[in-house]
Amino acid sequence: MGDLAAGQRIFERKCASCHNTNGDGKTVTGGRFPYANLIDGVWRSDGSAKAIERQIRRGHDPMPKFEGKLTDEEIRQTVAYVLELFKTGSGTREAEGGKQ
Ligand code: HEC
């Protein structure tokens, strides 16, 4: 299984309840927090893989920390998937007008 497919499975099981399956954060819990939207290009951090990994490891109220609950490998895969959601979600705006 590729990293993205693995990351997607983790995201859908552990993250989508707050972040929605498409990452837009429009859920009962996530909807109250602007930064729960992972695809609008607005980050509390800088939106880098490092910062996303830090958030997953440490959490940030009300998001639980996943350090110890996910392996390093799983965290890496989840980060890759979050960045992919971002690219294919909000990021498509940049691609518009360009060749696909
Ligand atoms: C209980 C709900 C909940 C769960 C489960 C959850 N999150 Fe979050 N997450 C949030 C909320 C709410 C925020 C915004 C918090 C804030 O304002 O700092 C957030 C923020 C983030 C951010 C930071 C965005 C930024 O702007 O920097 C990332 C990245 C993230 N979550 C990824 C994940 C991933 C990946 C998972 C699954 C492994 C996950 N979250 C699980 C609620 C959740």
Contact 74, 6 (CB under 8 A): yes
Task: Please give the structure tokens belonging to residue 36.
Answer: 């729960």
Tell me the domain boundaries of the chain.
Answer: 2-99
Query: At the topology level of CATH, where does 2-99 sit?
Result: Cytochrome Bc1 Complex; Chain D, domain 2 (1.10.760)
Reported as half-sphere exposure (CB side, CA atoms, 13 A), residue 88 has a value of 9
- Cα of 87 vs centre of ligand 1, distance in Å, is 17
Residues listed for the chain: 100
Q: What pLDDT score does 89 carry?
A: 84
pTM of the model: 0.91
User: What percentage of the chain has pLDDT greater than the value 90?
Assistant: 86
CB-ligand 1 contact for 21 (6 Å cutoff):
no
- Cα of 29 vs centre of ligand 1, distance in Å, is 10
User: What percentage of the chain has pLDDT greater than the value 70?
Assistant: 89
CB-ligand 1 contact for 87 (6 Å cutoff):
no
Q: What is the mean pLDDT of residues 52-71?
A: 98
